Amino acid sequence: MDNNKNTNEKNTNKDVISNLPDHILHEFLVRMPLRNAVRTSVLSREWRDKWKYIQELVLNKDSGFFYRYHDHQFRIYQLLFNHRAQIRKFSLAVPPFMRLSTIDLLILCLSRNHLVCDFTLAPYVMDNYIMPSHFYAFRKLAVVRLSRCTLISPPQFQGFSTLVKIEFQEVQFLPGAFERFISRCPCLESLYLSSKTINMDSLEVAGPSLRIFACHGFVKTIHFKSCPVLAQLWQKGWDANVLEMIQEQETPNPYLNQLKKIELHCYSGTFHQTALLKYLLTSATGLEYMVIVPASNYKPSVDLRVQTMEYPWASPAARLI
Amino acid sequence: MAAETGTPTTLTLKSNDDELFSVAESAAILSVTIRNMVEDGCAGGVIPLDNVDGKTLASVITYMNGISAIPADEEKKKSYRDKFLSDKDFETLADMVLAANYLNMSCLMDAVSAKIAQVMEKKSVGWVRRKFGIENDYTPEEEAAVKEEHKWTFEGVETDDDN
Q: How confident is the model at residue A304 (pLDDT cuts 50, 70, 90)?
A: confident
- Please determine, for residue B3, whether its predicted confidence score (pLDDT) is greater than 50: no
Predicted model pTM: 0.85
Interface residue A16 vs chain B (CB under 8 A): yes
Residue A134 has pLDDT above 90, yes or no: yes
Record: contact B117-A28, CB cut-off 8 A:
yes
Residue B163 falls inside a structural domain: no
Helices (H) and strands (E) in chain A, counts: 8, 14
Q: Greater confidence, A203 or A29? A: A29
Percent above pLDDT 70 for chain B:
90
pLDDT higher than 50, residue A26: yes
Task: Tell me what the mean pLDDT of segment A164-186 comes to.
Answer: 91
User: For residue A255, what pLDDT band results from cuts at 50, 70 and 90?
Assistant: confident
The 10s digit of each residue's pLDDT in A135-165 is: 999 999 999 999 999 999 998 999 999 999 9
Cβ separation A14–B109 shorter than 8 A: no
| Dihedral angle over CA of A20, A26, A28, A30, nearest 10 | 180
Residues of A in contact with B129 (CB under 8 A): 43-44
Asked if residue B160 belongs to a domain, the reply is: no
Whether residues B74 and B150 share a domain: the answer is no
pLDDT score for A36: 92
Same domain? B129 vs B116? no
Question: CB A44 to CB B129 under 8 A?
Answer: yes
Domain boundaries, chain A: 20-54
Q: Are B90 and A16 inside 8 Å of each other by CB?
A: yes
Q: Which of A47-51, A57-61, A287-291, B156-160 has the lowest mean pLDDT?
A: B156-160
Mean pLDDT of A275-289: 80
Nearest CA in chain B to A33: B121
Closest residue in A to B109 (Cα) is A27
Q: What percent of chain A shows pLDDT beyond 90? A: 38
Q: Do A15 and B94 touch (CB under 8 A)?
A: no
Question: Residue B132: what pLDDT?
Answer: 86
How high is the pLDDT of residue B51?
92
More confident site: A112 or A205: A112
pLDDT value at B38 more than 90: no
Average pLDDT over all residues of chain A: 82
Q: Residue B77 domain-assigned?
A: yes
d(CA B78, nearest CA chain A) in Å: 16
What are the backbone dihedrals phi and psi of residue B141, each rounded to the nearest 5 degrees, phi first?
A: -65, -45
Per-residue confidence band for A127, with pLDDT thresholds at 50, 70 and 90: low
Give residue-wise pLDDT tens across range A54-94.
999 999 888 888 877 667 888 888 899 999 999 999 999 98
Model confidence at A106, in pLDDT bands (50, 70, 90)?
A: very high
Rounded-to-integer distance, Cα B17 and Cα B50, Å: 9
Query: Average pLDDT, stretch A35-39?
Result: 93
- Judged against a pLDDT cut of 90, whether residue A186 lies above it is answered with yes
- Residue of B92, B119, B134 to mutate, testing the A interface (most A Cβ within 10 Å of its Cβ): B134
Give how far A228 is from chain B: nearest CA, Å. Answer: 27
Give A8→chain B minimum CA distance, Å.
9
- Chain B CB within 8 Å of residue A62 CB: no
Q: Are B133 and A24 a contacting pair at CB < 8 A? A: no
Fill in the amino acid letter for B13: L
Same domain, yes or no: B47 and B95: yes
Q: Please say if the pLDDT value at position B46 is more than 70.
A: yes
User: What CATH code is carried by the domain that includes residue B76?
Assistant: 3.30.710.10
Tell me which of A6, A16, A79 to substitute to probe the interface with B (most B C-beta atoms closer than 10 Å).
A16
Are B33 and B105 in the same domain?
Answer: yes
> Which is it for the CA torsion A37, A40, A42, A46, positive or negative?
negative
B52 in a domain, yes or no?
yes
Using the beta-carbon criterion (under 8 Å), do B146 and A48 form an inter-chain contact? yes
* Between residues A168 and B44, the one the model is more confident about: A168
Check: CB of residue A146 under 8 Å from CB of residue A129: no
Count of residues making up chain A: 321
Higher-pLDDT residue of A281 and A271 is: A281
Q: d(Cα B162, Cα A294) in Å, to the nearest integer?
A: 50
Residue A11 has pLDDT above 60, yes or no: no
| Whether B96 contacts B89, CB under 8 Å | no
How many structural domains does chain B have? 2
Query: Does a structural domain hold residue B76?
Result: yes
Is the pLDDT assigned to residue B158 strictly greater than 70? Answer: no
Q: Quick one: average pLDDT of A177-197? A: 90
Comparison of pLDDT for A14 and B126, the residue scoring more: B126
Q: Are residues B116 and B76 in the same domain?
A: yes
Range 155-214 of A in CB contact (< 8 A) with B:
none
Q: What pLDDT does A135 receive?
A: 96
How distant is the Cα of A54 from the closest Cα of chain B, in angstroms?
14
**Facing residue for B121 by CB, picked from A13, A14, A36:** A36
Give pLDDT tens digits for A199-253. 677 778 888 899 888 888 767 677 777 777 888 877 765 444 334 444 445 556 7
Q: Could you read off the pLDDT of B107-150 as tens digits, one per residue?
A: 999 999 999 999 888 888 999 998 888 999 999 999 999 999 89
Domain-embedded: residue B161: no
Mean pLDDT of B61-85: 91
pLDDT of residue A63: 86
Same domain, B87 and B114: yes
Residue B115 and residue B66 share a domain: yes
pLDDT band at B159 (very low <50, low <70, confident <90, very high): low
Contact list in B for residue A58 (CB cut-off 8 A) is none
At residue A246, the pLDDT reads 44
Share of residues in chain B with pLDDT > 90 (%)? 62
B108 in any annotated domain: yes
Neighbours of A298 (CB within 10 A): 15
* Rounded Cα gap, residues B108 and B13, in angstroms: 18
Does residue B159 lie in a domain region?
no
Number of C-beta neighbours around residue A201 at 10 A: 9
Q: What value does the mean pLDDT take over residues B44-72?
A: 91
Judged by a CB distance cut-off of 8 A, whether residue A61 touches chain B is no
Q: Could you list the residue range(s) of the whole structural domain that residue B150 is in?
A: 125-154
Cβ–Cβ < 8 Å for A50, B134: no
Clarify whether residues B44 and B97 are in a common domain: yes
CB contact under 8 A, A44 and B137: yes
Share of chain A above pLDDT 70, in %: 86
The answer to whether residues A100 and A73 touch, using CB atoms and an 8 Å cutoff, is: no
More confident call, A70 vs B105: B105
